[in-house]
Amino acid sequence: MTLHCNTSSGKLHTDQKTMKKKIRFSLLYRDMWQSSGKYQPRAEQLTAVAPHIVEMGCFDRIETNGGAFEQVQLLYGENPNTAVREWLKPFNSAGIQTHMLERSLNGIRMYPVPADVRKLMFKVKKAQGVDIARSFCGLNDHRNLELSVKYAREAGMISQAALSITHSPVHTVDYFMGVVDRVVEYGADEICLKDMAGVGRPASLGELVRRIKKKYPGIIVQYHGHSGPGMSVASMLEVARAGADYLDVAMEPLSWGMVHPDLIAVHAVMQDAGFEVPEINMDAYMKVRSLTQEFIDDFLGYFIDPRNRQMTSLLIGSGLPGGMMGSMMADLKGVHQGINAALKAKNKPEMTEDELVVWLFREVEHIWPMMGYPPLVTPFSQYVKNVALMNIVSLVNGKERFAMIDPNTWDMLLGRAGKLPGPLAPELVELAAREGKEFYEGNPQDNYPDALDGYRKEMEDNGWPVGPDEEELFELAMHDRQYRDYKSGVAKKRFLKEIDDKHAEQSKGAPAKAAPRKLLNSPDHGIALLYSGATATFWPDEELLNVGDEVKKGDILMYLMIDKRYREVLADRDGTVRQILVKSGDRISKGDPLIEFS
């Protein structure tokens, strides 16, 4: 078998003398950005790069949208439905299958979605040109996947049920086969091995694929593995030899690091192993590479943490997914100063940021089994990481672990998000009893009643059209707060200001200074105040508070640590956030203003 390069056409190809097992590739253009930073290309950028991806000629599938995609377009102040339709057109015309990522019970957001909204999602996405729904439950609870499979097939989509792969004593091949059996029973057309942290062991993954193919020989298997810990190329080779049909890949300048292995490297490995692989039009590859770099240079690079471009085998122990490294580093920066202040007060040596990262990884390793081994994928990776971070702050301040657990994490621990793979530690069971919390064993979807009628009335009251196939109604129901900000124009103003601030930071080499607080002390402004003592503040990272957000009385705005105890800051009125006056990790005093409302 010989690799040829036709320099005139810029194509790589293979001489075929015998029938070989064919390996097909899917380009994760959405996830390449999702795993790199906060934002992804805007609609006009996506439509500019799409034809050149088609010209590469080596992709049977493209991951185009799903988790975070529509939400990001709304944050830009743009219509996400227009973005999806225009972005998908060239792939639909070329016969390249498109696939989206959805989180079953959580749809394409970070918290549970009513069943009628979930059902509408598949109808809308199919009408917009999405062929395949990749559905995963972060807990691998087959009950959460059942409706996704049903709704996808009813909408005419290919249902690809994904296994959230991780490595633990409970996540055995037999365990995963138990999930496969149920989703196949529900009617899933395909299976994806979603190795979101890249910690799946190659031999075990190969055995899992062999078992799937032996029991269900007609089912398609696709492998998705992040490159962060460095094992995913070996896993790709093992699953391909075991019968996998599709491999997810990235490409420069956003391959490797915390993202995914590069197409060219995987192509070479598969070709050398004797598989039939497609030709790559290298001229088109370079054009896509160049455009992607242009997008980074335009503004997206402002939001890509340099550490996301690195690989680290430390992730093997913690099991944290590479895609959350950016938010994790932001969280660590926020608490770093407060932790060092506490250490200094106790005459202990201060910690570097790298030392704090290692401590966080070790804390995740320690508490993960205690919390029932939830696969560390969105949103459960954030929940475990948040608890680990709070534990570190507690321990530094002489307090015990689990002093603060936010409501979403409690829902996971109590079974309201699905069944945990493993048992909870006795101390967490005892803590739940002390706090009067009840465990739930029913179907998680039953906790979230239908809601479309209420959103439909809101659109009628505002004079907003529901759009083709009710796609605008869907966006409001899925991302209500962001959609309202988009319609009001607040989102675009906020985004443009964020870009201006980032540009100013880079130009000056220093962050912009906050507005003087003394100008914001008028009682007419409705300022939330700290109630006692010096403190540090924390936001839940899955739903950050933003300027322009509408909040209702009683909403949790942030958390404070006061005298080694955590307290919630609740909105005391309905209103709009005009300005946020503190950031996570700030030391603040009694009477300091925190948030200004209009």
* Cβ-based neighbours of 379, under 8 Å, separated by 6 or more: 103, 106, 110, 111, 138, 408, 542
- Interatomic CA distance for residues 91 and 30, integer angstroms: 14
The number of angstroms, rounded, from the C-alpha of 126 to the middle of its chain's C-alpha atoms is 22
Q: Is residue 25 part of a domain?
A: yes
Q: Is residue 8 part of a domain?
A: no
Is 413 in the same domain as 454? no
| Average of per-residue pLDDT values in the chain | 86
Say what the pLDDT of residue 2 is. Answer: 35
Nearest CA-CA partner of 194 in 150, 145, 123, 126? 145
Token pair of 103 as six digits: 């989180």
Does residue 523 register a pLDDT over 60?
no
- Interatomic CA distance for residues 13 and 78, integer angstroms: 41
How many structural domains is the chain composed of? 4
What's the CATH code of the domain at 120?
A: 3.20.20.70
Q: Is residue 160 part of a domain?
A: yes
Q: Is residue 12 part of a domain?
A: no
**Average pLDDT estimate for 574-598:** 73
What order do you get walking across the sheet with 280-281 strand by strand?
Answer: 3-6, 11-14, 280-281
Q: Is 169 helix (H, G, I), strand (E, B) or coil?
A: coil
Token pair of 576 as six digits: 């709009």
Say what the pLDDT of residue 597 is. Answer: 78
Backbone angles phi, psi at 171, to 5 degrees: -90, 70
Is 429 in the same domain as 497? no
**Average pLDDT estimate for 344-366:** 89
Q: Tens digits of per-residue pLDDT, 228-260?
A: 999 999 999 999 999 999 999 999 999 999 899
Q: Is residue 48 part of a domain?
A: yes
155-173: buried (b, 16+ CB within 10 Å) or exposed (e) per residue?
bebbbbbbbbbbbbeebeb
Say what the pLDDT of residue 406 is. Answer: 84
Is 464 in the same domain as 584? no
**Average pLDDT estimate for 197-206:** 96
Say what the pLDDT of residue 18 is. Answer: 56
- Interatomic CA distance for residues 329 and 385, integer angstroms: 11
Is 290 in the same domain as 434? no
Residue with tokens 């999405």: 130
Please state, for a pLDDT cut of 90, what percent of the chain lies above it.
63
- Interatomic CA distance for residues 480 and 420, integer angstroms: 29
Q: Is residue 14 part of a domain?
A: no
Is 433 in the same domain as 496? no
Is 295 in the same domain as 348? no
Cβ pair 557, 595 in contact under 8 A: yes
Is 435 in the same domain as 453? no
Cβ pair 561, 534 in contact under 8 A: no
What's the number of CA atoms in the CB half-sphere (13 Å) around residue 72? 20
Say what the pLDDT of residue 314 is. Answer: 76
Say what the pLDDT of residue 521 is. Answer: 28
- Interatomic CA distance for residues 322 and 224, integer angstroms: 13
Is 394 in the same domain as 474? no
- Interatomic CA distance for residues 324 and 38, integer angstroms: 10
* Cβ-based neighbours of 94, under 8 Å, separated by 6 or more: 54
**Average pLDDT estimate for 84-95:** 98
Cβ pair 104, 194 in contact under 8 A: no
Comparing 545 with 113, which gets the higher pLDDT?
A: 113
DSSP state of 589: -
Domain boundary (461, 489, 508) is at 508
Q: Which helix (H) or strand (E) holds 234?
A: helix 232-241
**Average pLDDT estimate for 559-570:** 60
Q: Is residue 9 part of a domain?
A: no
Say what the pLDDT of residue 329 is. Answer: 67
Residue with tokens 């991806």: 53
Q: Tens digits of per-residue pLDDT, 292-337?
A: 999 999 999 998 878 778 888 878 877 877 666 656 666 777 678 7
- Interatomic CA distance for residues 465 and 458, integer angstroms: 11
Does residue 185 register a pLDDT over 70?
yes
Is 144 in the same domain as 260? yes
Is 269 in the same domain as 361? no
Q: Across 350-359, 427-436, 567-576, which has the greatest mean pLDDT? A: 427-436
Nearest CA-CA partner of 14 in 279, 284, 281? 279
Is 212 in the same domain as 130? yes
Phi/psi-derived region of residue 13, left when phi > 0, alpha when psi is between -120 and 50, beta in every other case: beta
Comparing 568 with 355, which gets the higher pLDDT?
A: 355
Domain boundary (406, 427, 446) is at 446
- Interatomic CA distance for residues 195 and 200, integer angstroms: 6
Say what the pLDDT of residue 4 is. Answer: 42
Say what the pLDDT of residue 306 is. Answer: 81
Does residue 341 register a pLDDT over 60?
yes
Cβ pair 561, 512 in contact under 8 A: no
Say what the pLDDT of residue 151 is. Answer: 98
What's the CATH code of the domain at 558?
A: 2.40.50.100
Say what the pLDDT of residue 587 is. Answer: 66
Is 297 in the same domain as 319? no
Q: Tens digits of per-residue pLDDT, 464-474?
A: 999 999 999 99
Comparing 91 with 523, which gets the higher pLDDT?
A: 91
Q: Tens digits of per-residue pLDDT, 114-148?
A: 999 999 999 999 999 999 999 999 999 999 999 99
Domain boundary (446, 466, 493) is at 446
Which structural domain range is residue 587 located in?
Answer: 517-597
Please state, for a pLDDT cut of 70, what percent of the chain lies above it.
85
pTM: 0.83
Q: Is residue 428 part of a domain?
A: yes
Does residue 392 register a pLDDT over 50?
yes
What order do you get walking across the sheet with 565-570 strand by strand?
Answer: 535-538, 556-562, 565-570
**Average pLDDT estimate for 143-154:** 98
**Average pLDDT estimate for 101-105:** 97
- Interatomic CA distance for residues 150 and 382, integer angstroms: 28
Token pair of 507 as six digits: 């130009």
- Interatomic CA distance for residues 196 and 206, integer angstroms: 16
Q: Please, is 348 exposed, middle or buried when counting C-beta atoms within 10 Å of its C-beta (0-12, 13-18, 19+)?
A: exposed
Which stretches within 12-57 are classed as H helix? Answer: 29-34, 43-56
Comparing 280 with 407, which gets the higher pLDDT?
A: 280
Q: Is 558 helix (H, G, I), strand (E, B) or coil?
A: strand
Task: Look up residue 363 and give its amino acid.
Answer: E
